[in-house]
Structure formats: C-alpha cells, structure tokens
C-alpha cells in the first residue's frame, strides 16, 4: 500500500506540498505517483527565480515507462530546486517524501498561502483520488 503522510497536502495531479516556512512550500511527487511511473531515470527541474502559475507544467519526470509533467500546485516563485536529482533521479522512487523532493515555491504573504494550501487535498481526500 502506498504511503500518504497526514501532514502533507496533495493535488489531484499527484504532487505533495509541505509548508516549510510561513511563505514557502516544498513540492514533490507522491508515493503513488512514483509507483505508477516505475524506475525514474531523469528529472527536469524548473529554473530558480522563475515564476510559476498554478496548474502550469514546470518540471518533468522521465521513467522507464513514460514522461510525466509536474504541475505547479500554486502560483509562486521557484526559490530552490533539488539539484541532487540530476545525478540521482532514483531518489524519487526510494524517498519521494524526503530526499526526493523536487522544488520549493515562495509567495509574497503567508495569509494567501494559508488559503491556497487549505484548498489542496488532505491525505484522506487524496486517498479518494487514488482509490486508497
């Protein structure tokens, strides 16, 4: 059975969102997503300092099965990317909620992030999406 940590928020496109500061979140793909992809062989990350709009495809994950777009869960600036994935893309498979994170996004104010994160799925809601 796939893991769905209770402390994260989720999108229907299988991204997870962890709030790491009042105006910043860390984003990755879920355990379910990595299990569907199979062995990840390449990750294309967004450019730091670029602006992402909610729903935009801003990264790609390539596996032995397919190439999947990663979507921005909210409108924000990309402030960090996990460069380790360039040389070790398999971390998405082995530790999707830890070392396999993809990028960090920052917004201008905490109140708007409260609202946006609140609109994402909780663990139970995401389990409903994946039939868990």
Write the pLDDT tens digit of every residue in 55-79. Answer: 999 999 999 999 999 999 999 999 9
Query: What CATH number is given for 9-124 in this structure?
Result: 2.40.50.100
Question: How many whole angstroms separate alpha carbon 95 and alpha carbon 99?
Answer: 6
Question: What is the arithmetic mean of pLDDT over 111-128?
Answer: 96
- Predicted confidence band of residue 28 (pLDDT cuts 50, 70, 90): very high
């Amino acid at each position: 059975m796939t893991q769905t940590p209770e402390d994260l928020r989720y999108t229907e496109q299988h991204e997870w969102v962890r709030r790491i500061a009042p105006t910043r979140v860390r984003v990755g793909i879920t355990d379910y997503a990595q299990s569907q992809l199979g062995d990840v062989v390449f990750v294309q990350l967004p450019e730091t300092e670029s602006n992402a709009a909610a729903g935009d495809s801003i990264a790609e994950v390539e596996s032995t099965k397919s190439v999947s777009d990663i979507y921005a869960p909210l409108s924000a600036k990309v402030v960090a990317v996990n460069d380790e994935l360039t040389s070790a893309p398999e971390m998405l498979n082995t530790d999707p909620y830890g070392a396999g994170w993809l990028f960090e996004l920052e917004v201008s104010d905490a109140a708007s992030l409260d609202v946006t994160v609140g609109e994402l799925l909780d663990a139970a809601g995401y389990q409903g999406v994946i039939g868990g």
